[in-house]
């Protein structure tokens, strides 16, 4: 059952600005949000004082048990269930029947498709159920989960928000918009400018915010059911010498082990959460302010603090947020955004993959993130890399559900109506 929302006033959630651009990462803001930032920053610059895991040890010991990997789902709930049933991971009641199978989902299960939250809930349930039967479910963060954790909801559709609508949603929306209008009127007054009429601000908010949006943002926050779970997930895991990651790991990133990469990502999210909460507590942000505003206010507050000795010193988490552009979470070459394995030429891959695998102490890598027609699971670079994003959300990508099965060194691609052998060790291949 979904948690009831707190009774504190919600503020306006910025209207979604759809963009199918996925990298390089740039936070999305709104015109209204930029206005708020401009007003707040003017006060800060003038010297105003603010008012008063999923464990990292995803590695498993070597064994011959089956591994199944599922790529990007993007809310394709029915497609996900169909392929999991096809490969005998779940039954018709969506209960685990995979025995000691290790199921790995490589991220990007949220956004775009109407079943995004149902996908998350099923993954959470299977993750809890599988160990009772000797199995394990490893769910990784992709770039779209990171976007949600950072408050960037550019690819959350009205159909996803509708899943969070209940009998109190209209009242919450009204409370949210009243809080929004009060916040912005106060900002104008502090600038000694005539504020817009309260009714105008409320109507603007009501026209831009959708029912269920307030509840969705709460659910993705640090105290929300899905948000708490997301914050426990790793960005990379290794099972039986195979590394699983959403986008990929280049040679520079491979100098760090997976545990270090996971710790760094969790530290980034924790720093962001703490900084955002601090700014809200100081009345410098609304509870639902977009990412672009969080970063702008944080930077200007840092500038004001450096020139205003009367202001309290900034925390280490706050200072960490000022290095946002360097974070693993948003770097174009970071593990959740990197596309080199799909885009490198054969020559580039043959040159770099051996070094990467050596540094990772791995035999192969499995990634999602980059769907490519004809939407089949592919092997590259002498079967040392497997690309498993087949555009499962048919309405958006025109692809289809798929899964990669790995057992006894044999890699097989499964689809709803067929299966293809991708790789078998030479000794096995000779007997076939």
Catalytic positions = 144
Question: Cβ of 44: how many Cβ atoms within 10 Å?
Answer: 22
Rounded CA gap, 51 and 62, in Å? 55
What is the b/e burial string over 403-421, where b = at least 16 CB atoms within 10 angstroms of the residue's CB?
A: bbbbeebebbbbbeeeeee
Angle at 413 between CA 412 and CA 418, to 5 degrees: 110
Please report the DSSP string for 158-207 in residue order. Answer: HHHHHTT--TTHHHHHHHHHHHHHHHHHHHHHHTT-PPPPHHHHHHHHHH
Name every residue whose Cβ is closer than 8 Å to that of residue 322 and which is 6 or more positions away in sequence: 298, 299, 302
Place of tokens 């004001």: 304
Residue 99 three-state SS: coil
The answer to whether 219 and 226 have CB atoms below 8 angstroms apart is yes
The neighbouring-strand residues paired with 378 are: 387
Question: Cβ of 250: how many Cβ atoms within 10 Å?
Answer: 18
The answer to whether 172 and 10 have CB atoms below 8 angstroms apart is yes
Q: For the chain, what is the total number of helices (H) and then of strands (E)?
A: 16, 11
Token pair for 353: 């993959």
The answer to whether 386 and 364 have CB atoms below 8 angstroms apart is yes
End-to-end Cα, the chain, rounded Å: 51
The answer to whether 284 and 50 have CB atoms below 8 angstroms apart is yes
Angle at 17 between CA 398 and CA 317, to 5 degrees: 110
What proportions of the chain, in percent to the nearest 5, are helix, strand and coil? 40, 10, 45
Helix boundaries (H) for 231-290: 258-281
For residue 322, give the DSSP letter.
T
Rounded CA gap, 201 and 182, in Å? 9
């Amino acid at each position: 059952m979904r948690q009831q929302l707190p009774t504190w006033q919600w503020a306006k959630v910025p209207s979604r600005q759809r963009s199918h651009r996925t990298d390089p990462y740039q936070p999305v803001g709104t015109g209204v949000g930029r206005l708020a930032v401009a007003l707040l920053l003017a006060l800060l610059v003038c010297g105003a004082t603010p008012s008063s895991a999923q464990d990292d040890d995803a590695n498993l010991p070597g064994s011959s048990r089956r591994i199944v990997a599922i790529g990007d789902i993007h809310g394709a709930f029915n497609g996900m269930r169909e392929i999991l049933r096809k490969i005998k991971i779940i039954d018709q009641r969506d209960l685990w029947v995979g025995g000691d199978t290790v199921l790995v989902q490589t991220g990007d299960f949220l956004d775009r498709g109407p079943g995004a939250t149902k996908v998350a809930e099923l993954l959470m349930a299977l993750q809890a159920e599988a160990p009772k039967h000797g199995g394990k479910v490893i769910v990784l963060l992709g770039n779209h989960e990171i976007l949600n954790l950072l408050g960037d909801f550019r690819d959350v559709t009205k159909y996803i928000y509708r899943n969070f609508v209940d009998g109190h949603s209209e009242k919450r929306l009204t409370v949210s918009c009243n809080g929004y209008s009060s916040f912005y009127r106060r900002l104008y007054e502090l600038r000694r400018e005539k504020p817009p009429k309260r009714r105008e601000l409320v109507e603007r908010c009501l026209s831009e915010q959708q029912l269920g949006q307030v509840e969705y943002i709460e659910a993705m926050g640090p105290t929300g059911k899905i948000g708490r779970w997301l914050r426990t997930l790793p960005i990379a895991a290794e099972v039986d010498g195979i590394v699983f990651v959403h986008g990929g790991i280049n040679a520079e990133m491979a100098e760090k082990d997976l545990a270090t990469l996971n710790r760094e990502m969790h530290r980034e999210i924790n720093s962001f959460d703490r900084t955002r909460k601090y700014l809200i507590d100081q009345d410098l942000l609304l509870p639902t302010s977009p990412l672009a505003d969080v970063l702008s206010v944080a930077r200007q507050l840092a500038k004001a603090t450096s020139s205003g000795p009367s202001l309290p010193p900034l925390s280490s988490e706050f200072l960490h947020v000022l290095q946002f552009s360097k974070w693993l979470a948003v770097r174009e070459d970071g593990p959740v955004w990197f596309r080199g394995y799909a885009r490198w030429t054969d020559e580039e891959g043959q040159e770099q993959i051996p070094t990467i695998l050596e540094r990772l102490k791995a035999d192969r890598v499995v990634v999602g993130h980059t769907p490519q027609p004809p939407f089949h699971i592919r092997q590259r670079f002498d079967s040392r890399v497997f690309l498993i994003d087949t555009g499962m959300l048919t309405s958006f990508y025109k692809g289809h559900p798929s899964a990669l099965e790995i057992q006894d060194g044999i890699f097989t691609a499964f689809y709803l109506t067929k299966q293809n052998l991708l790789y078998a060790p030479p000794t096995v291949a000779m007997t076939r």
